[in-house]
Amino acid sequence: MSRPVRFNIKAKDTKDWGINTVQMPDGHMGEGFFATSLDKVVGLARKNSIWPLPFATSCCGIEFMATMGSHYDLGRFGSERVGFSPRQCDLLMVMGTIAKKMGPVVKQVYLQMAEPRWVIAVGACASSGGIFDTYSVLQGIDQVVPVDVYVPGCPPRPEAIIDGILRIQDLVHNESLRRRSGDQYKGLLESYGIQ
């Protein structure tokens, strides 16, 4: 017996989907004009067009694949353009166990990214070495590069990874345009031996 075929012939009303448009930045509005500051506009654009570089070495990378899939769909946050060229990405996502031998490679990838750049440590291994408290495993990638957001879990579910992306979006949105040239930021990079 064949199954009845059903066609979706009714157009769905997107108002019920709970899809939000991007919020307008703070500013002054009058008849025919809207004025705000440059850093708010730049922050808004950057926040909604983050290009991730997935540095996946083990199981957490599989969760990231699910995060990119149609069910969770990271593209909803403007981050569907995953790149494997450090020079064209602004978010380094380290997912998985990082051996000490791999530490310099993570650092080199970070160095090849242009400013402004952000880093997420996804999962227990990238954040702290996880269960691998051994001589060969780096006990957290913050030993080699500065980390902006840590996502807990072994592995973190896609919801947790998305939550980490949202935390990064908050940082990106509210970051001052001058932060990267400030003494505090330079001091942070110098503490990692980065000029």
How near is the Cβ of 168 to ligand SF4 at its closest, in Å?
A: 19
Helical (H) or strand (E) element with 183: helix 183-191
Query: Binding to ligand SF4 by residue 125, rule CB under 6 A?
Result: yes
What length is written for the chain? Answer: 195
Query: Binding to ligand SF4 by residue 60, rule CB under 6 A?
Result: yes
Query: Binding to ligand SF4 by residue 129, rule CB under 6 A?
Result: no
Helical (H) or strand (E) element with 171: helix 158-174
Of the candidate spans 20-28, 56-64, 158-166, 183-191, the one that interacts with ligand SF4 by CB under 6 A turns out to be 56-64
Query: Binding to ligand SF4 by residue 141, rule CB under 6 A?
Result: no
Among 36, 46, 51, 59, binds ligand SF4 (CB under 6 A): 59
Query: Binding to ligand SF4 by residue 58, rule CB under 6 A?
Result: yes
Q: Which residues contact 152 (CB under 8 A, 6 or more apart)?
A: 123, 124, 127, 160
Closest residue by Cα to residue 97 from 62, 141, 145: 141
CB atoms within 10 A of CB 38: 8
Closest residue by Cα to residue 50 from 120, 111, 142: 120
Residue in the structure block whose two tokens are 């970070």: 110
- Cα(151)–Cα(64) distance, integer angstroms: 12
Query: Binding to ligand SF4 by residue 164, rule CB under 6 A?
Result: no
Residues 6-45 as x/- pattern, contact with ligand SF4 by CB under 6 A: ----------------------------------------
Name which of 55 and 110 has its Cβ closer to ligand SF4: 55
Residues 83-112 as x/- pattern, contact with ligand SF4 by CB under 6 A: -------------xx---------------
Q: Would you tell me the crossing angle of helices 38-47 and 158-174 to the nearest 10 degrees?
A: 160
Residue ranges binding ligand SF4 (CB under 6 A): 58-60, 96-97, 123-125, 130, 154-155
